[in-house]
Amino acid sequence: MGSETGLTAAGRTDTGRKRPHNEDAIRLEPGLGLLVLADGMGGYSAGEVASQIAVDTVVSTVRNASPLERGDRLLEEAFQKANRSILDTARSDPERQGMGTTIVACLFRRRRVTIGHVGDSRAYRLRRGRMEQLTTDHSLNQELLDRGYYTRMEARRAGNRHVITRALGVRESVDVSLREESVAEGDLFMLCSDGLTDMMDDHSIRYALESRSGALEELADSLVDRANELGGRDNISVILTLAGAGSASERRPLLSRFRDRLQKLFRREGNPADI
């Protein structure tokens, strides 16, 4: 899926092998420069309701905003609106009380990306062979890791690794983590739920991203399929986007496009076009 923003994106969400239904939700809006992923919780169908409210609210907020709005302010507003909408829905339906969701979103504008997240869904960037996690989990596990109680290997095996410390739909206001990064042509960004990162460590994910040979859709499928092969204990969702990979004209070097324009001008004026 390409766009005028110079992004091409693909995503897949899967129930996995253990869960009865899928409580994850994803939205790909490359025309807005927006990618959103949410991992719901709450039992019955409540989790999938919360995650869908979250991604829909973020998309509608960005779509209706001024393109001049700062990315961090816009995602902050969108996440707070989603938080209130989930709370209001839960209050109106007793079966949905207690529902909530994680969320992670990337908003691309003018060669910059704003990353917002709440919970333990993650964003990564692969740039020239180096993979970086752009989010820090809002989880008990992460807090214990930061304090030195766990090594990274111990943290991956800990029984409390799914206890999150922030989510949409839990309190009247939510503390949103925001970060802005540069975007270079060829950057590969990935958003994912913990259904992927519980099954694959960062080394395995990096190897899969670096080994990409086909379309992004194929890479998304291979990541989800691999997580299922390793057990598929949770819903698995992945969104991938490749920066600077829009239309062929978008990918051509600036000098080449300038040369074409001069040739057209010279032909129109009847002058030589030998440049």
Domain boundaries, the chain: 7-244, 248-275
Tell me which of 260 and 201 has the higher pLDDT: 201
Measured distance CA(129)–CA(110) in Å, rounded: 23
CA–CA gap between residue 263 and residue 131 (Å, rounded): 42
Higher pLDDT pick, 273 / 167 = 167
Are the CB atoms for 142 and 136 separated by under 8 Å? yes
Q: Is the pLDDT of residue 272 over 80?
A: no
> Which pLDDT belongs to residue 7?
83
Looking up tokens 């206001």 gives 173
Domain 7-244 has CATH 3.60.40.10: yes
Q: Is 171's pLDDT higher than 90? A: yes
Cα gap 124→134, rounded to integer Å: 5
